[in-house]
Amino acid sequence: MSGLKDAGHLFRFLGLFVIAFLVFWVIRGFVVPKSFGEYGHYRGAAIAEIASHPIKFAGHQSCEQCHTDEAGTKAKGAHAHVNCEACHGAIFQLQPAAAAPPENLYQRMLAFAGLRLPADPPLVKHADDPMSVTPVKPDSAVLCARCHTASAAKPKGFPQVDPAEHSGGVPCATCHNPHSPVIGSDTTATAAAGTTAAAGGAN
Amino acid sequence: MNISRRHILVLLPAAAVAWKHVLAGTPEDSPNYRMSDHWWGMLIDIPKCIGCGNCVRACQTENDVPDGFFRTWVERYHVTDTHLENPEVISPDGGKEGFPIAKEDEGKYFFVPKMCNHCADSPCTQVCPVGATFVAPDGVVLIDPKYCLGCAYCVQACPYGCRYIHPTKKVADKCTLCYHRITKGLTTACCEACPTGARQLADLKNPKDPIHEFLKMHAVQVLKPQMATGAKAFYNGLDGSVR
């Protein structure tokens, strides 16, 4: 028994280790997010957070609910496979800064400390306020040229023109209906051009 | 970053407020979306790409990508007969505003849209020291911006150059395959905006997805297959000179 006579300091060390471990365990319980390890070595809640980002391109299905005429024309034309927002831009738009709701206390404090976390800007939807929130009216001279300007780099079968030579500065929409651009192929035209082009499928 | 005592005093109550939100749980869940039912990838059809840059602009709008950084970008290759192994590659501003006109010249031109390959065995997730980037159960490689330290190991590890450090958030950033869209039944912003259907979102776990028929009928390749990253960006008509 006398061998343990001087072992008191060892037990005190052991006690310290146990206390340190308990402190570590308690702190860990608070600091590690509940969802960490739910699916793997990461915070499972991050997935839902990323999935909750705001959507800006609503998708052509959304446009087609109201704009049935344009959708019908387009479906029969050579642009059947071009989605609405490819030309008109995203229909969810940023709310003007003045109308943005005030930031919360946490964001204000971070901003004060110079460590501002950028917040998602508020969005408004064309469908909620069709008169004031409107998609950009595209400038056909820029928009059409972006795809259809002739270049040796583009696929050979793709319709291409030299804009200056082709129209001499006249806006494309003077002659072409952008929703069904082949001249003479209006809504009554055969669906041939549209269906072959759409075979690749949008989406 | 220099954090003074004053900053700490300000940050402590701020952190206490933030903590309440962290403990409050997750933001809105998507009720009808089951991660285990999907395995996402992307099909990129090179012969269809016209280099208009619609995808790059749509991505920047949808995801607030800062100017000069790209979650997706388009490269134009020019391969001449004498330099098959050394193509001339350009990507002015990521191809966002299109490309300079190419005159008829020797050799061949083609466009290659690039993006995160959402690798099944991705090098970027393996090097992250804190578990801030991961392959989600549905095959999408994501970044948790609240956990990321901004150490940029992943930026170096990605063999495809798809990651960058966000200039204001100071965390790693990259394509999420529009995770906020695909979990709600929409396609990605780049696919939505592509006028020729050169990009198509693919769900490899959905037996009705046209990707299966396409993979069967076409010669499809991934980038850098020798690195065995399990890349899920499938390229149709990929030229051997593409790196």
The answer to whether residue B59 sits within a structural domain is yes
B8 or B107, which is more confident: B107
**Helix H or strand E segment including B173:** strand B172-173
Distance in angstroms (rounded) separating the CA atoms of residues A183 and A201: 23
The answer to whether residue B149 sits within a structural domain is no
The answer to whether residue B179 sits within a structural domain is no
B102–A152: do the CB atoms touch at under 8 Å? yes
Can you say whether the dihedral through the CA atoms of A46, A51, B117, B108 is positive or negative? negative
Distance from CA of B206 to the nearest CA of A (A): 15
The answer to whether residue B159 sits within a structural domain is no
Tens digit of pLDDT for each residue in B201-226?
Answer: 999 999 999 999 999 999 999 999 99
The answer to whether residue B41 sits within a structural domain is yes
The answer to whether residue A11 sits within a structural domain is no
Backbone angles phi, psi at B162, to 5 degrees: -95, -5
The answer to whether residue A151 sits within a structural domain is yes
User: Are residues A143 and A152 in contact, defined by beta-carbon separation less than 8 angstroms?
Assistant: no
The answer to whether residue B220 sits within a structural domain is yes
The answer to whether A190 faces chain B, any CB pair under 8 Å, is no
A153–B76: do the CB atoms touch at under 8 Å? yes
The CB density around residue B138, as the number of other CB atoms within 10 Å, is 22
The answer to whether residue B130 sits within a structural domain is no
Number of domains in chain B: 1
What confidence category does residue A173 fall into, taking pLDDT thresholds of 50, 70 and 90?
confident
Residue A29 pLDDT: 92
Cβ neighbours of residue A188 closer than 8 Å, sequence gap 6 or more: none
Interface test with A, best of B180, B199, B236 (most A CBs within 10 A): B180
Tens digit of pLDDT for each residue in A90-130?
Answer: 888 765 544 445 456 666 666 666 665 555 566 777 877 77
Number of domains in chain A: 1
Residue B80 pLDDT: 87
Range with the poorest average pLDDT among A25-29, A129-133, B225-229: A129-133
B110–A153: do the CB atoms touch at under 8 Å? yes
Distance from CA of B8 to the nearest CA of A (A): 9
The answer to whether residue A15 sits within a structural domain is no
The answer to whether residue A7 sits within a structural domain is no
What confidence category does residue A9 fall into, taking pLDDT thresholds of 50, 70 and 90?
confident
Residue A202 pLDDT: 36
Distance from CA of B176 to the nearest CA of A (A): 8
User: Are residues B143 and B153 in contact, defined by beta-carbon separation less than 8 angstroms?
Assistant: no
The answer to whether residue B140 sits within a structural domain is no
Q: Which domain covers residue B108, as residue numbers?
A: 35-115+187-236
Q: Measured between CB atoms, which of A51, A106, A152 is closest to B105?
A: A152
Name the residue in chain B with its Cα closest to that of A162: B101
CA-wise closest residue to A154 among B189, B100, B94: B100
Question: CATH number of the domain that B86 lies in?
Answer: 3.30.70.20
Q: Which domain covers residue A184, as residue numbers?
A: 60-198
